[in-house]
Amino acid sequence: MDPLSNVLGLLKPRSYVSAGLDAGGVWAIDFPPPDGIKFNAVISGTCWLSVDGVPNAVRLEEGDCFLLTRSRTFRLASDPSVEAIPSDAIYSIARGGIATCNGGGDFFLIGSRFSFSGGNSDILLGILPPIVHVKRDSDHAAVLRWSLDRMTRELRDRQPGGVLMAEHLAHVMLMQVLRLHIASPDAHGVGWLFALTDRRIGAALGAMHADPGRQWTLQSLAELASMSRSTFALHFKAKVGLAPMDYLTRWRMLVAGDRLANSAEALASVAMSLGYDSESAFSTAFKRVMGCSPRQYGRPQPAGGDMRNSIGAQ
C-alpha cells in the first residue's frame, strides 16, 4: 500500500455518528469540542464557522464541506455577532437525527463524526490545520457530499450492512479531504503527508512504508529518489521534518506498536520482521520512540500520559 493508506490502516477510523441541522432566520449555535473528527456538508443556505483558537471566521456556502481536526469548541451562525444558544438546546429534542433552530427552512447541514480506534491520531491530525475547508466548486466536494448523505441514510435507516457501509464511506471522505488539502496551493506544511506530493521524496517514503523491515541505507533511499545522499538528506528533512533514518525508525515502531497491541505475534518475530537482529536493539529503539517498553505497550497508563508519538509533525 501507499504511505497514506498505511497510516489510515493504523488509525482505523470508526465510531460514526450522523446528524443534521435545519435553521431559519437569524441564528447562532455553540457546539462543544467534538470527540474525534467532525465532518459537515452544507446542503443549502450559508453560514459562518468560528473555531476556538482560529482568528478568523470562515464563510460557508451551499455545497461547501469542512473538516474539524481539533477537539475545540466551535460556532455555526447566520451572523457571527448574534448571541448563540448551546447546541444541546436543540439537539436534545432532535427528531430523526435532525435538529431544528428557529423553525428551519433557510439553512441545512448534514454532519458526521468519527474517531480513530488505532491510537496515534497525531500522525495525521497533528500536521493538519484546525479547519480543512473544501469549497463547492471542487470535484472532491461533490464526492464528499454524496458520501456523507449516503452515510446518513445508512445509519438512520439501519439497513443490512449499514455499519460496514458507513466505515467504507468514512474512509472515502477522509481520503478525499486529504487529497484535496495536500494538492491545494495554500498547503505548504512540513510533514510526511505534504511530502507525498514531491515525486522524489514520495518514492522514498513509499519504499519505506512498503518494506519497513528492509535494511535501508541513506544511499539506497537516495538512489530511489534519484538524488545524491547529501541532497536527499537535506531535501527529505526539509519536506518531512525528520531525517530519513529517523523517520524510518519511527514508522517501524508505529507498525510494531500496532502489531503488539492487536495480535498475538511474539516480540522476537515482530523485531526480526522490522529489520532488528535482536530483541534488545528493537526494545531500545521502541522505548526511545514510543516512551515505554514493547511489553508495556497497550497497558493502561497513568492519567495525563500519552506514550504514542507522531512520525513527523515537526
In the prediction, which pLDDT does 304 show? 39
- Decide if pLDDT at 100 tops 90: yes
* Alpha carbon distance 35, 271 (integer Å): 34
* Alpha carbon distance 308, 314 (integer Å): 15
Of 39, 56, 57, 37, the C-alpha closest to 47 is 57
Lowest average pLDDT, out of 51-65, 156-170, 216-230, 243-257, goes to 156-170
Domain boundaries 3-183, corresponding CATH code: 2.60.120.280
Q: Which residues contact 222 (CB under 8 A, 6 or more apart)?
A: 204, 228, 229, 231, 232, 233
Is 203 buried (19+), middle (13-18) or exposed (0-12) by CB count in 10 A?
middle
Nine-digit cell string for 301? 497508563
* Beta-bridge partner residues of 38: 68, 113
In the prediction, which pLDDT does 60 show? 96
Please give the average per-residue pLDDT across 13-23, as a whole number.
78
Name the phi and psi angles at 70, rounded to 5. -120, 155
Q: Are strands 13-23 and 65-68 parallel, antiparallel or unpaired?
A: unpaired
Lowest average pLDDT, out of 63-67, 212-216, 223-227, goes to 63-67
- Cut 0.85: pTM above it: no
Q: Are strands 37-44 and 65-68 parallel, antiparallel or unpaired?
A: antiparallel
Q: Where are the domains of the chain?
A: 3-183, 193-290
Task: Count the Cβ atoms, other than its own, within 10 Å of residue 277.
Answer: 9
* Alpha carbon distance 22, 13 (integer Å): 27
- Decide if pLDDT at 103 tops 90: yes
* Alpha carbon distance 289, 279 (integer Å): 15
The amino acid sitting at 20 is G
Of 42, 4, 53, 7, the C-alpha closest to 254 is 7
pLDDT digit string, tens, across residues 40-88: 889 899 999 999 999 999 999 998 889 898 889 999 999 999 999 999 9
* Alpha carbon distance 139, 196 (integer Å): 21
Distance of CA 228 to the CA centre of its chain: 33
193-290 adopts what CATH topology? Answer: Arc Repressor Mutant, subunit A (1.10.10)
In the prediction, which pLDDT does 90 show? 95
Task: Count the Cβ atoms, other than its own, within 10 Å of residue 197.
Answer: 13
Instruction: Tell me whether domains 3-183 and 193-290 share a fold.
Output: no
- Cell 503488539 appears where? 260
- Cell 433557510 appears where? 106
Query: Where residue 204 falls among pLDDT bands split at 50, 70, 90?
Result: very high
- Give Rg (Cα) of the chain: 22
Distance of CA 3 to the CA centre of its chain: 13
Q: Which of 6-10, 18-22, 270-274 has the highest mean pLDDT?
A: 270-274
Mean of pLDDT over the chain: 84
In the prediction, which pLDDT does 124 show? 78
Task: Count the Cβ atoms, other than its own, within 10 Å of residue 129.
Answer: 15
Tell me the helix, strand and coil percentages in the chain, rounded to 5.
40, 20, 40
- Give, for 286, the enclosing helix (H) or strand (E): helix 279-290
Please give the average per-residue pLDDT across 177-201, as a whole number.
79
In the prediction, which pLDDT does 150 show? 79
Q: Which residues contact 241 (CB under 8 A, 6 or more apart)?
A: 190, 191, 312, 313, 314
Helix axes 229-240, 244-262, angle to 10 degrees: 60
